[in-house]
A and B are shown apart, each in its own frame.
Chain A
Amino acid sequence: MTRLPWLRTRLTCIRGTMPKNTPELLKGTLDLLILKTLESGPMHGYAIARAIEEATEQALQIEEGSLYPALYRMTNRGLLRFEWGLSAANRRIKSYRLTARGRKRLKLETANWGQFTQAVARVLGEQPA
């Protein structure tokens, strides 16, 4: 059983620069990726986009703008909070960090994700490729 469906995100697979078989992001995965990315510490939106890009080694690519609605929504739900700081270029920049609740959610979603992928893998494993 998975708890993923509550996360409705706007995610698209970007074709073109990617190899043809770049997988589409599953619905809701973006939130999990953001939570995981912020686990290491506060980050602004741009940095989150880069971190996800790096971590997935560009296997998954997201439309970067769609990060923001996810960030705002998660902030509103109390999973994230933000503060204003100054960027290297001395501009006001908003950085996000996990709240205690966000951390808890990350743990839960990670576990769920594991179960989900295992279950899917089991189903796929039974079928001849």
Chain B
Amino acid sequence: MSWVTDSWMRLRSLLSQHDREGQIDDELSLHVEMLVRDLEARGVDPATARREANRRFGDVRVIRKELYSMENKRVDHERRATYFDELWQDLRYGTRQLLRNPMFTAIVIGTLAVGVGANTAVFSVFKGVFLDPLPYAQPDRLTYIWHGSTEGECCGPLSGPDFLDLRRMTETFEDIAVLSSRNTNITGDGDPVVVLGANITPTMFSVLGVQPVRGRSFTEDDELEDGHVVVLSDGLWHQRLGADPDIIGSAIELNRETYTVVGVLPPGFNVPSPWRINQMHDVYFPFAREDIDQGRSSHWLLAIGRLEPHVTLETGDAELKSLSKSLADQYPETNLTKTTYVHSMHDRLVGRAGTQLILLLSAAGFMLLIVCGNVASLLLTRATARQTEMAIRSAVGAGRTRIIRQLLTESMLLSLLGGVAGIALTFWAMTFLRASIPADLPRVANIGIDGAVLGFALGISILTGLVFGLAPALSASRTNLTESLKEGKGTPQSASRRNLLRGALVAAQFALALILANGAALMVQSYLEFRGRQQGFDPGNVLTVNVALQGERYDDAFARDDFLRQTIERIAAIPGVLAVGATSKLPLRGGTNGQVWIEDDPERLHDGQGPLVEFSRVSADYFDAMGIRLMAGRYLTADDTAAASPGTIINEVMANELWPDENPVGKRYSFRTDPPNWMTVVGVVQDVRQWGPYSRARAEHYLPYTAPGWASGYRMYLIVKTELDPLSLVAAVRQAVLTVDKDQPISEIRTMEGVLSDQFAGQRFNTMLVGIFAAIALMLVTAGVYGVVSFYVAQSTHEIGVRMALGAGRGRVLQLTILRGLKLAGAGAAIGVGGIFATTQVIRSLLFGASPVDIPTMLGGVAVLLAVAVLASIVPAHRAASVSPVTALRSE
């Protein structure tokens, strides 16, 4: 289309619809009138002439309607074409502008990339962990069903009979199934390995809405007869069994017994247990009915329920509570204070992680806002430089909206380029994040960059483009035409307005940075505080491995004792090993507890409410290997087991709680009341934080694992204190175990340093991310102040010249300029302090108990910001102070 016609079209498009239709009407009616006139001229009488004209013309209404719609369609089309033409123009022009200032462009794109990249990376974690629905059919109907007390204690496993009764009676649940995890040794061909197995009731897979992709699921028959059948995970089938296509019906040796494989599950499928985050169950065994139907007071089954369609969680919870009530009436001796709790599976698995990730996302969002402020400042500065250009544009007829659109197109272009660079940065950041993501963050495997994550990146890019582009565009479009063209630069009013805007932007960045830095500082403090705490043991150079003794061979306690004793002896003989011990549970990892009754307190012996204490089963050398100091009495010896009343070691908390102001050594206590099984305290050791570094130490006692009367020694951790790097001895330790039993695998190979470090992984991850965001924020703010003060100096060269001519010294100029930066920082800090108080509740959950408002930290933050402001102002201030008055005055 030629340019002339093009413009014609465009001009026509500017007419209103009413005018366009008027023109069509005029044209058509003129035609008919001319026809009538010619006919009359030929002597036809007026009435006939009109009738004839109408006949020859055809139906005016139809034609008019057709033309109307043609015109309207054309105008729509033209408008769109114009819009895209202009957009294209703006894009080309914008690209040229960006290429003309490659430095500016690179800085802006780089800054944006950091903001977008950080947010996208955190979002991808948030999405993978929290937003994505759980990979089961209709996951919102899935729940965990817990045993709890009527006093509000919650979340223990169900007992078998309770589960069977609830399942039979419920009307709000489509089905309920239970699971009990257990370590399983794969024996037979190849090295023995430990995998996580689980006993399940036969409907577990259908409750989750998943069926084996090969073979079959369990049936009621499997539950009734001990058929030794298993269903395997896809992972195990691939890794251990080479994806053997004839696996169904073949035999597999587990715990030294032979099982028949009846099914293989789809890839990635797992029955999720909130106690075993990120651990896959690889082998599923069917529960035998009589295994479940035992002991109403023994709670050990993880229950998963699927609600009936359209039944809410609350309804299901209420129904099970009322069913529990009727069970309590029926079995008062066991169920009197029992009730059930129903929790959404999604909440339970990822709710807490989701909350923390939202906070991290907000920290990243704060940083993105600072990025926006920073880029907006840069654009404002550039807008000032481009004032003449804008003036010329508006002089040749560009309207204000047109100029705003052009500037917004430019910032969109920048933000999209920044977004693309940000996505590239995200890919890099993800490898870094993956390496530092805490192992206990749920659903780590589901984290990745997909369409939604890219969409998020695109979305925030566009949003940032609008946010940082709008203020400069509005400001630049408000140009006083004559003044600009005359002076070649802005009017004083527009300049001061722009300076105010720029100052406000920097102050806002300061405020945001202060909140972020304060949060980061608090998190670092809290982290260092917890990390520096005494845990009660010496983690240096300690190797731990788990041995889970399984199968008939170890049903005999003496066989287990034999195994452990021989293994410990062999490991102790390895060169470089200083001490070897064994324990049933590692420090910091939580544990098991029970009530005890003390001998000297007959009253408490009979009220049925003894104090609750933690207990571990240990070997005599455990304390030595773990570096747990003896405070009183002596360590365990082999004789302590043999004695009629076994010797035990207790910790200081237990000593103080049970025997305040007394020497506990030699005192006796029992687990049971009828008949009591007395144990004698032989020593007191320092407290170990059994429930993790964030909890205080609780009362705890250590029993020799060989002490009779308890089924113990099945699952023990070997603790190996070494001279040098503990991991260098793993092979030797494994060999020692295999020498004693060639089918016995070792697992959970860790150093105690690693076990300790894992406890802080979550806090470290959060602290690191917020710290990085805060550091970037401070750098951005420094750049922001530097920019504004430099610009101020450049703008007021004249003023400075006058001041110096009137006798102001260098020092005074320096002072004035730095004061300018300080004012911005001060205003920002004042707002930021308000922000800190406003966000206390938000940050609390990231601090693990530290106070969210810490005045010294806050003042420190303010001081840092003011220092940043001074530093950033020094360079431009020196520039100002070295202005020669003569040059300055002449430059006008």
Contacts and interface: CB of A to CB of B under 8 A. Distances in A.
B28 A68 contact: yes
Interface stretch (B52-60, B151-159, B330-338, B879-887): B52-60
A69 B23 contact: no
B26 interface: yes
Interface in A43-81: 44-46, 49, 63-66, 68-69, 72-73, 76, 78, 81
Contact of B27 (A63, A64, A76, A94): A94
A45 B9 CA distance: 19
A100 to B, nearest CB: 7
Interface stretch (B62-70, B317-325, B408-416, B677-685): B62-70
Given A66-B63, A69-B70, A76-B70, A81 B56 contact: no
A81 B31 contact: no
Nearest to A45: B31
Given A69-B70, A76-B70, A92 B31 contact: no
A65 B5 contact: no
A101 interface: yes
A20 interface: no
Interface in A78-107: 78, 81, 87, 91-94, 99-101
B67 A76 contact: no
A78 B3 CA distance: 11
Nearest to B54: A65
Contact of A49 (B4, B9, B31, B70): B31
A94 B59 CA distance: 21
Contacts, number: 61
A78 B71 CA distance: 14
B31 A78 contact: no
Most buried by B among A68, A69, A73: A68
- B interface, over-half SS: helix
A78 B1 contact: yes
B794 interface: no
Given A63-B58, A73-B70, A68 B27 contact: yes
A128 B63 CA distance: 43
Nearest to A100: B2
* Interface bin, chain B: 20 to 34
B424 interface: no
B74 A76 contact: yes
B34 interface: yes
A67 B27 CA distance: 12
B594 to A, nearest CB: 90
Contact of A81 (B8, B23, B60): B8
Nearest to A94: B27
B30 interface: yes
Nearest to A101: B2
Nearest to A88: B34
Interface residues of A, number: 24
Contacts of B8: 81
B31 A94 contact: no
Contacts of B28: 65, 68
Contacts of A14: 56
Most buried by A among B1, B62, B66: B66
Contact of A87 (B2, B9, B30, B63): B30
B35 interface: yes
A46 B38 CA distance: 11
A68 B63 CA distance: 8
A92 B35 CA distance: 17
B35 A64 contact: yes
Given A81-B5, A81-B8, A94-B27, A69 B34 contact: no
Nearest to B60: A65
Contact of A65 (B30, B63, B71): B63
Most buried by A among B8, B30, B59: B30
Contacts of A49: 31
A91 B34 CA distance: 11
A101 B2 CA distance: 9
B650 to A, nearest CB: 97
A49 B657 CA distance: 114
B70 A65 contact: no
Interface in B1-19: 1-2, 4-5, 8-9
A101 B28 CA distance: 26
A42 B30 CA distance: 17
Most buried by A among B1, B8, B31, B70: B31
Given A64-B56, A66-B58, A72-B67, A46 B5 contact: no
Given A63-B57, A68-B63, A78-B2, 16 more contacts: A46-B31, A46-B34, A63-B56, A64-B35, A64-B56, A64-B58, A65-B60, A65-B63, A66-B63, A68-B27, A68-B31, A68-B67, A91-B26, A92-B26, A93-B30, A99-B2
29 contacts: A45-B31, A46-B30, A49-B31, A64-B35, A64-B57, A65-B28, A65-B31, A65-B57, A65-B60, A65-B62, A66-B58, A66-B63, A68-B28, A68-B31, A69-B63, A69-B67, A72-B71, A78-B1, A78-B2, A78-B5, A81-B5, A81-B8, A87-B30, A91-B26, A91-B30, A92-B26, A93-B30, A94-B27, A99-B2
Interface of A: 14, 44-46, 49, 63-66, 68-69, 72-73, 76, 78, 81, 87, 91-94, 99-101
User: What are the 3 closest A-B residue pairs judged by CB atoms, nearest first?
Assistant: A65-B58, A63-B58, A65-B63
